[in-house]
Amino acid sequence: MIKPVLEVRNVEKIIKGNTIVQSINIHLLKGQVVALCGGNGAGKSTIIRMIVGLSQPSKGEILVKGIEWRKSREGYAQSIGYMPDDYQFGNGLTALETLTFWAKLRGVPQKQVLETLEWVGLQEVRNKPVSAFSKGMRQRLLFAQALLARPPLLILDEPTNGLDPYWMDSYVNLVKSIKEKGHTVIFSTHQLDVAEAVADRVIFLRKGKIIQEGDTDDFRKKYGALGLHAAYSELMSHASKQR
Amino acid sequence: MHIQAIAIREMKMGFRNPWSYSFMALFSFFSLALLLINTQKFVQGFSSTTATMLNLILYLLPLMTLLLGSFSLTGEKEEGSWRLLSTYPISTASFINGKYVGLTFVLLFIISFGYGLTGVIGAMVGKPFDFITYGMFFVFSALLILLFLAIAILIGTLAKNRWQALTFCVGIWFFMIIGWPTVLVSFLGLLPYIWIKPVLIVLTMVNPAELVRLFIIVKLGGGSALGPEYYQWINWMNHPNGIFIFILVCVILVGISIFTATVLWERGRAHD
């Protein structure tokens, strides 16, 4: 039996008596790309924060390559690469200096730093201060940071938030290229086009619960050209009728 | 290894921070003012001029250190840098110690530049400082940096953002530097006479500014100016082991702040 890269088992998050995330189960195999989709307050970021170890589940457990955060924080951290959604670069360092710093913390050789910069298309601007970068370039640098140590699992929180269509396309291509190299990716998004373009599987969330999940191809077969948009609309209208 | 990487980043960030250059310009200007005082009245050992100079350093350096240090830590929170680093295989202690080492280097560079500039100009105009007194000023400044930086790390830990850190810094600076004598006199006045000496010792130990000021005054030979309550201090500070006890007290003060900061950052790491 193939061991999953990520196992989220019956995870719940309760904050001040409010259940933010309810009985979530996610299993990701090597090379899979999964999108967590949903509107604001659906619980996407809470799940992402729990997977990266920034927040602990109130119930259930999360394992990456069979390692639980509570049992081996270092081993867990070495198995993941995280791209946050709210990082601000304000320290005057260049792209190369910034990435080199992160690389040293992970024990990544300098050669790999340059390769990663090349991979995300920032090689030519590596000596420019990050404060002078556009939003798209900063997102690429954060993506490079997550990818730097070539971890088995990449966790991306709203990676295309605020990006123009050009950068969204390049993000899609980047994820496709890392998928080809065998990386496993889970990312949150409210942009269904992006999810449809790169994800093998899509998980729809609403109010902290999984309301539907399945292969992207199956959604396409069922809903045709409208794909995930149609699926999401149907789910939302169904959910509001139930209320 | 992680401490080194964090310290190096801190130095790079520090030397690209406009605040560092503002403080460097201010401290250099201020050092030149000390030189001007020296040209008018040669400063050697402890005198009223030396006391004025020490007080001026005492006003400027702790505030400068508190602001640079605490802003560096709150910046990590505000920019999301700590949140990202929390997902890395690094310990919280490496992070805090690395920040402390890096910031110490930046601040020591700032004062070294100021004193160096003053020393060179003083030598050029033929009015150099007395070497021992000049060295004592440097030691005094370096000690203030080391001790107040540890407090700055603690402030940066407790404050949520730069504005809050600024408020805490000014409050602590005012209490420890400006308000201290008044607070001390009014508080000690309430105590029975036999309690005054031991309480004075404890209170002096917990205020780094006062501890370092007394040590330097005693070492400059001005202990008699402190009054009878401090005779015991003068004795132990002039004792051959006095310097080691003083260093031990300083290490304990820095250690307590850094340890507390580390525990608080660790508690905030994945405990929500």
- For residue B79, give the 3-state DSSP assignment: coil
Q: Which of B215, B200, B205, B175 is nearest to B63 (CA)?
A: B175
Q: Where are the beta strands (DSSP E) in chain A?
A: 6-15, 18-28, 33-37, 59-64, 67-68, 80-83, 153-157, 184-189, 201-206, 209-215
Q: Are the beta carbons of B83 and A69 separated by less than 8 Å?
A: no
Report the pLDDT value the prediction gives residue B228, as an integer from 0 to 100. 67
Give CA–CA dist B125/B176, Å, rounded: 37
Report the pLDDT value the prediction gives residue B240, as an integer from 0 to 100.
78
Residue A80 has pLDDT above 60, yes or no: yes
User: Do B80 and A87 lie within an 8 Å CB cutoff?
Assistant: yes
Determine whether the interchain pair B1/A88 forms a contact, defined as Cβ–Cβ distance below 8 Å: no
pLDDT tens digits, A115-170: 999 988 899 999 999 999 988 899 999 999 999 999 999 999 999 887 778 878 88
Q: What is the pLDDT of residue B168?
A: 97
SS (H, E, C) A173-223: HHHHHHHHCCCEEEEEECCHHHHHHHCCEEEEEECCEEEEEEEHHHHHHHH
pLDDT-derived band at A17 (thresholds 50, 70, 90) equals: confident
ipTM attached to this prediction: 0.90
Cα–Cα distance, B125 to B88 (Å, whole number): 54
- The residues with which A94 forms a beta bridge, in sequence order, are A129
**Cβ of A90 under 8 Å from any chain B Cβ?**
yes
For A211, list phi and psi in degrees, rounded to 5.
Answer: -100, -25
Residue A52 has pLDDT above 90, yes or no: yes
- Tell me the H-state helices in B207-241: 208-219, 231-238
User: Does A71 contact chain B (CB < 8 Å)?
Assistant: no
Q: What order do you get walking across the sheet with A67-68 strand by strand?
A: A18-28, A6-15, A59-64, A67-68
Q: Considering only A38-47, A105-114, B2-11, which range has the smallest mean pLDDT?
A: A38-47
Provide the b/e sequence for A156-170 (b: ≥16 CB within 10 Å).
bbbbbeebeeebbeb
Each residue's pLDDT expressed in tens, for chain B with a length of 272 residues: 799 999 999 999 999 988 889 999 998 988 888 777 777 766 666 677 777 778 888 999 999 999 999 999 999 999 999 999 999 999 999 999 999 999 999 999 999 999 899 888 888 887 777 788 788 889 999 999 999 999 999 999 999 999 999 999 999 999 999 999 898 888 888 888 888 888 888 888 889 998 898 888 887 777 666 666 666 777 777 777 888 888 999 999 999 999 999 999 998 876 66
Given a cut of 60, whether residue A243 has pLDDT beyond it is: no
- Indicate whether A238 pLDDT > 80: no
Mean pLDDT value across residues A40-45: 88
Instruction: Compute the count of residue pairs across chains A and B with CB atoms less than 8 Å apart.
Output: 75
Cβ–Cβ of A53/B85 closer than 8 Å?
no
Say which amino acid occupies A12. Answer: E
| Cβ within 8 Å of residue A1, ≥6 positions away | none
What does the alpha-carbon distance between residue B186 and residue B180 come to, in Å, rounded to a whole number?
10
Tell me which range, A106-115, A164-173, A185-194, is most confidently predicted by mean pLDDT. A106-115
Establish if A14 touches chain B: CB-CB under 8 angstroms.
no
Q: Identify which of B84, B90, B272 has the shortest CB distance to residue A84.
A: B84
Does any CB of chain B come closer than 8 Å to the CB of residue A82?
Answer: yes
> CB of A132 within 8 Å of any CB in chain B?
no
Tell me how crowded residue B1 is: count the other CB atoms within 10 A of its CB.
10
- Higher-pLDDT residue of B105, A85: B105
Is the predicted pLDDT of residue A240 greater than 70, yes or no? no
* Share of residues in chain A with pLDDT > 70 (%): 95
CB contact under 8 A, A82 and B2: no
Cβ neighbours, 10 Å, residue A59: 14
State which residue of chain B sits closest to A83, comparing Cα positions: B84
Q: Does the pLDDT of residue A2 top 80, yes or no?
A: no
A 204-233 residues with CB < 8 A to B: none
> Which residue in this structure is represented by tokens 């910069």?
A117
The alpha carbon of residue B157 is apart from the nearest alpha carbon of chain A, in Å, by 17
Q: Do B84 and A106 touch (CB under 8 A)?
A: no
pLDDT digits (tens, 9 = 90+) for A116-130: 999 888 999 999 999
How many angstroms away from the CA of B69 is the closest CA of chain A? 14
Angle between helices B242-268 and B92-124 (to 10 degrees): 130
CB contact under 8 A, B9 and A89: no
Distance (Å) from the C-alpha of residue A55 to the closest C-alpha of chain B? 5
One-letter amino acid identity for B9?
A: R
Mean pLDDT for all residues in chain A: 89
pLDDT score for B245: 86
